[in-house]
Structure 1
Amino acid sequence: MNTTATRLAALSEWIDKSQVGRDSEAITWGRLAKITEEAGEVIAAFIGATGQNPRKGVTHNTADVIEELLDVAITALGAVEHLTGNNGGSLWLLAAKISTVAKRAGLVP
């Protein structure tokens, strides 16, 4: 397992350990809901980067939007780790999914 996969699994396990005593389904709901919360932060950053709120003006930039998108990715991959027992396989699963989608799009023979 590579260092990134190990760190991602460790982060997910750390989050899971902080939830001791909670119902397992509630923990999973929390992990999945967090993805949506992070996605909302992407939209807030994009609104700020494009100045769509005239009261606030431009408050963010493209780098902020990218950071928020990466938070979404980490949170989603962490949820995959949670669902698969924090075994460090989420990046492999992501690579397999990318391959499947690329094939479906006709980009890979």
Structure 2
Amino acid sequence: MTDETWKTIEQLRQWLDEKDNATPEQARLLRLLKIQEEVGEVAQAAMGAVAANPRKGRSHMWTDVENELCDVILSSMVALATLTPDAAGVFQKRVDIIAERSLAPQGSA
């Protein structure tokens, strides 16, 4: 992720803080719940892309799934930025841990 991306995420977090009437504790909770809402939209789009609901047929395209996945990522980033002022650092540290654990040569971990 670029610094510019995280700057945009911080601007979105600030915008949300200014626009909603939630207390800081409520904002944290609501932003975590927003992730679940967006995950549900991914599922809905994926089901629509494969015409899993006979009543609705093919109601979505795979580009809809891509967009909904982006919304999950964005919502997660805003939620993380709501929890910590060092969201970029926390995220990078986690990426590094997962990469080290997952990409380490066999037998060395």
Whether TM exceeds 0.5 here: the answer is yes
Q: Which amino acid aligns with 1:10?
A: Q
Distance apart, 1:80 and its partner CA: 0.7
Cα distance in 2 for partners of 1:41, 1:99 equals: 29
Cα distance in 1 for partners of 2:54, 2:17 equals: 41
Q: What's 2:10 paired with?
A: 9
Q: Which amino acid aligns with 2:3?
A: N
Q: What's 1:91 paired with?
A: 88
Q: Which amino acid aligns with 2:20?
A: Q
Cα distance in 1 for partners of 2:45, 2:88 equals: 26
Instruction: Give TM-score scaled by structure 1 length.
Output: 0.85
Correspondence 1:17-96 to 2 at 5 A: 17-20=18-21, 22-85=22-85, 89-96=86-93
Q: Any idea what the Cα deviations from partners look like across 1:50-99, whole Å, max 9, x if unmatched?
A: 100001101111111011001000000001111114xxx43343222122
Cα distance in 1 for partners of 2:66, 2:89 equals: 22
On the 8 A contact 1:35/1:72 being kept in 2, the answer is yes
Cα-Cα RMSD:
1.7
Q: Which amino acid aligns with 1:98?
A: V
Structure 2 residue runs of 5 or longer lacking an equivalent are: none
Cα distance in 2 for partners of 1:8, 1:30 equals: 16
Cα distance in 2 for partners of 1:36, 1:23 equals: 20
> Structure 1 residues 91-100 or 73-82, which shifts more?
91-100
Structure 1 residue runs of 5 or longer lacking an equivalent are: none
Cα distance in 2 for partners of 1:71, 1:102 equals: 23
